[in-house]
Structure 1
């Protein structure tokens, strides 16, 4: 008898120092036991905070797919992005539309997923990774 598949958890965060400003993305992927499977940080250059949030989500989704994730719970501290992915808000800003479209393409490759807003305090590791991305890019 096969084991039931348990969802992994993805926490993502974007950081922009200034809006727009130097930005970074962070993502951490945890297994069902809370063990860290992947931690990613990326310098994004100049962009808005909302674009950084989308890029962080993309960073995390790529990591999840690379590791063969089929069930995923996604957590962000950006209510705007969560509600846009849920279809509750329209994506009006032109620079966000292609990022939104790319997220939807990646989500379609995951068997089952959910997305929810979490308070910033529950997203500290992803925030740390996003800020690392900004710091690493600032050194270049």
Structure 2
């Protein structure tokens, strides 16, 4: 299965792994995928492969404090810009400066015009 939904759920899976590894709790998960949010919240039954990933993520998070919410695509500009760039780079790339040139505008827009709350420790 190769779809944007598959990518969203696999991204959630990798994020849960990282959050557990780095002990980033309480965890606030934000997604612009309403399908992903509804499946995790239990209000929508997804296809089996996606449901399996969602159930695994929920199972691994059950001992921790976490929540999930839907955000607009516009509020998700920085992750969206990163995802689009990741698609362009087929090989591993080392970025040596921060913020990356292609992120200046999305970062400025995100910080100045939108509520910005990404990591709560």
**Class of the TM-score when normalised by the shorter of the 2 chains:** 0.5 to 0.7
Measure how far apart 1:131 and its partner are: 1.6
Instruction: Find the counterpart in structure 2 of residue 82 from structure 1.
Output: 37
Whole-angstrom distance in 2 between the partners of 1:132 and 1:61: 22
Which structure features the higher share of helix residues? Answer: 2
TM-score (norm 2): 0.67
Which structure features the higher share of strand residues? Answer: 1
Measure how far apart 1:67 and its partner are: 1.1
What 5-or-longer segments of structure 2 have no aligned partner?
A: 93-121
Aligned Cα root-mean-square deviation (Å): 1.9
Instruction: Find the counterpart in structure 2 of residue 129 from structure 1.
Output: 82
Say how many residue pairs are matched: 92
Residue 29 of structure 2 contacts residue 68 of structure 2 at CA under 8 Å; is this kept in 1?
yes
Q: Are 2:12 and 1:57 equivalent residues in the alignment?
A: yes
Q: SS of the counterpart of 1:96?
A: helix
Task: Name segments (4+ residues, structure 1) moved above 3 Å.
Answer: none
Q: SS of the counterpart of 2:13?
A: helix
Q: Can you list the C-alpha shifts for 1:43-100, whole angstroms capped at 9, x where unaligned? A: xxxx101111101111221221121122111100011110110011112x13312222
Instruction: Find the counterpart in structure 1 of residue 26 from structure 2.
Output: 71
What 5-or-longer segments of structure 1 have no aligned partner?
A: 1-19, 21-46
